[in-house]
Structure 1
Amino acid sequence: MPTSSPSPAPAPDAGPPARLSNRLGLGLMRLMARLPLPWVRALGWALGSVLHVVATRRRRIARTNWAACFPDHSEAERDAAIRRHFVFFAQAWLDRGWLWEAPAHVVKRRLLLRGDLEALEGQAPTVIFAPHFVGMDAGWTALTAHLSRRFCGLYAEQLNADVDRWMAEGRQRFGNPHVVGKRQGLRALATALREGLPLYLLPDMDHGERDAVFVPFFGVPAATLTSLPRLARLGGAQVVPVTARLVPDGYEVTVHSPWADYPTGDVTADTAEMNRRLEGFIAEAPEQYYWVHKRFKTRPPGAPAFYLM
């Protein structure tokens, strides 16, 4: 579950003006469920084009990330790629309206699930490696909507109660998933794995040095969570990558074959291998990866700051 689920306690109330604004925003998102998909994507193109201009801080972050990961690209190539990224980002955000509100048959028709589906059959303990592509919510929805197996997702509470409720209900719409709060730790996740619930895990962001090691990401040392190999080892689980690619008629969600001989027991080497394989997935749709995150925010001891802002 892409880092959200029902809150165990109400989120903070920001007051009547904020509540009205949030409810208007949610009303707009629910409208997306009623519109033809080409209209939604056109609105996403317009929104993404505007965000590329006005969201200067996020644009600088994305440009810095891209320059570090693709140093051979010219400035013009980088700028064009970042513009496309903002469009994909906005389109995927508006797509959440129909993912969570449109009739079930519409959602399933727009989500093509393909690849090694046999890897998710049966009851074998499984950790699903779901990288932060813009379509990560579509990937989760495709699995829970198309497959009969019950899945497990990790939850991070949203600050606004209305948004938290909407996102939680949307992400639990299909398949009656099992939800584990982030505060419950690895033990609760390992228990779910041993009980046969595939865990949808997104471990490829920079969350600081805690539970992380510095391993290369496109040749740059990056603080990377070790949760994928650790959970796979704790739960005796196979690792099955799932990637989602935004396409004109919805999303193509691919279940990749399980990684052989993984994990090895060497946490640092296994985490580095995760990043190496992630680079291959990114190469297939580079503009759809989540470049607006400060992936290199945490630096090795003595290294200079990466983002000059």
Structure 2
Amino acid sequence: MLAKHRLASLLLPRLLQWLGQRSLPTLHRLGGAAGLATYWLASRYRQHLRSNLARALGREPTRKERHGAAKNAGRMMLELPWIWQQPLPRVLSQVLDVEGWEHLEAARAEGRPILALTPHIGCFEITSLYVGEHMPVTILYRPPKQTYVEPLLRAGRAQGAVSLAPADLSGVRRLIRAMRQGEMAGLLPDQAPGKGEGIWSPFFGKPAYTMTLAARLSQVDNAIVLFFWGERFSRRGWRIHVSPPTEAITGSLEERVHAINRNLESLILRCPTQYLWGYNRYKRPAGAEPPPQ
């Protein structure tokens, strides 16, 4: 096991560096092929993706939808080394369209704290980098388990006016401070939390252990919540979407958690084949109470 870890620590950084020097269309082609191959070779992954996508759609997904979701998962993985290693101006040149930017401008004009929620859909790495070219943004950051990848990841994410806050109490304080100082705070609201950091909340009709942090931050000084995501064009670049909630995020903490999940459902169904269905959104954290029946 130790020998495998050492081998990975030597080879993976070199592989990531090599991938980072390929063109984005090439990586999207390779990623699509790799994602589809993984779908057919890994039966558990295939079943997981298919059942989660069916639950969201309310019907059995078509072959095109299943394959599209698998290909986009592969594209997401292989575009990351390019985003992290290419010069920021070149990365941002691949943002080919922006939809809803006026919602962010209106929020800034109000002068209230702004909370950006970016789910695991499309290219979620590009959104903070793009926003960081226009205003300071602090995002929650959890170091990867593969420590030898962290320097590359940190350098890729902390560009422009983007700051990283650790995923602990000090990081939460930094997010709140940033919001109150006129900056934007951002995080992934559909990331499965650890024990004691979430509650069970319906997500496409099934209980999912959902973080309470996003709901708590939405309570900071009557914050404005906006949803950001990067729609991936086939073998090209991305379109940045900025959307206000389709359902108001108000009430108690629990009510806000449920409202955020319903907003995520609405957003995901706009582009279901670009959501990361292979992510185990319904897992039960060790030590957490079982989900309600």
Fold similarity call, TM over 0.5: yes
Q: What are the equivalent positions in structure 2 for 1:10-25 lying under 5 Å apart? A: 18-25=5-12
Alignment partners' CA distance in 1, 2:128 and 2:208: 26
Aligned to 1:28: 15
Cα distance change of structure 1 residues 103 and 205 upon mapping to structure 2, 3 Å threshold: closer
1:246 is displaced (CA, Å) by 0.9
Alignment partners' CA distance in 2, 1:23 and 1:113: 38
1:208 is displaced (CA, Å) by 5.2
Select between 45-54 and 118-127 the one with higher mean Cα deviation: 118-127
Cα distance change of structure 1 residues 66 and 192 upon mapping to structure 2, 3 Å threshold: same
Alignment partners' CA distance in 2, 1:37 and 1:62: 25
Q: 1:141 aligns with which of 129, 137, 144?
A: 129
Alignment partners' CA distance in 2, 1:271 and 1:302: 16
Cα distance change of structure 1 residues 21 and 214 upon mapping to structure 2, 3 Å threshold: closer
The alignment yields a C-alpha RMSD, in angstroms, of 2.6
2:157 matches 1:171: yes
2:84 matches 1:96: no
Q: 2:167 aligns with which of 182, 187, 205?
A: 182
Alignment partners' CA distance in 1, 2:179 and 2:3: 42
Aligned to 2:59: 72
Q: What are the equivalent positions in structure 2 for 1:1-309 lying under 5 Å apart? A: 18-73=5-60, 77=62, 79-112=63-96, 114-121=98-105, 122=108, 124-144=112-132, 146-147=133-134, 149-175=135-161, 177-184=162-169, 186-207=172-193, 210-248=196-234, 249-257=236-244, 259=245, 262-298=248-284, 301=291, 303=293
Cα distance change of structure 1 residues 260 and 21 upon mapping to structure 2, 3 Å threshold: closer
1:209 is displaced (CA, Å) by 5.6
The 8 Å contact of residues 136 and 243 in structure 1, kept in 2 or not, is answered as: yes
The residue type paired with residue 76 of structure 2 is A
SS at match of 1:215: strand
1:108 is displaced (CA, Å) by 1.5
1:86 is displaced (CA, Å) by 1.9
Structure 1 residues 282-309: Cα deviation after superposition (integer angstroms, max 9, x where no partner)? 1111011111122222385563xxxxxx
Alignment partners' CA distance in 2, 1:282 and 1:160: 29
Cα distance change of structure 1 residues 260 and 133 upon mapping to structure 2, 3 Å threshold: closer
The 8 Å contact of residues 98 and 241 in structure 2, kept in 1 or not, is answered as: yes
SS at match of 1:107: helix
Structure 1 residues 127-164: Cα deviation after superposition (integer angstroms, max 9, x where no partner)? 001111141112222222x32x1110111122222201
SS at match of 2:219: helix
The 8 Å contact of residues 193 and 235 in structure 1, kept in 2 or not, is answered as: no
1:167 is displaced (CA, Å) by 0.7
The residue type paired with residue 227 of structure 1 is L
Q: Give aligned-pair identity as a percent.
A: 25
Gaps of 5+ in 2: none
Structure 1 residues 267-294: Cα deviation after superposition (integer angstroms, max 9, x where no partner)? 2222222122211211111011111122
Structure 1 residues 31-88: Cα deviation after superposition (integer angstroms, max 9, x where no partner)? 33433332222211221122112333322222232232233225xx2x5433322211
The 8 Å contact of residues 41 and 91 in structure 1, kept in 2 or not, is answered as: yes
SS at match of 2:183: coil
Alignment partners' CA distance in 2, 1:205 and 1:86: 19
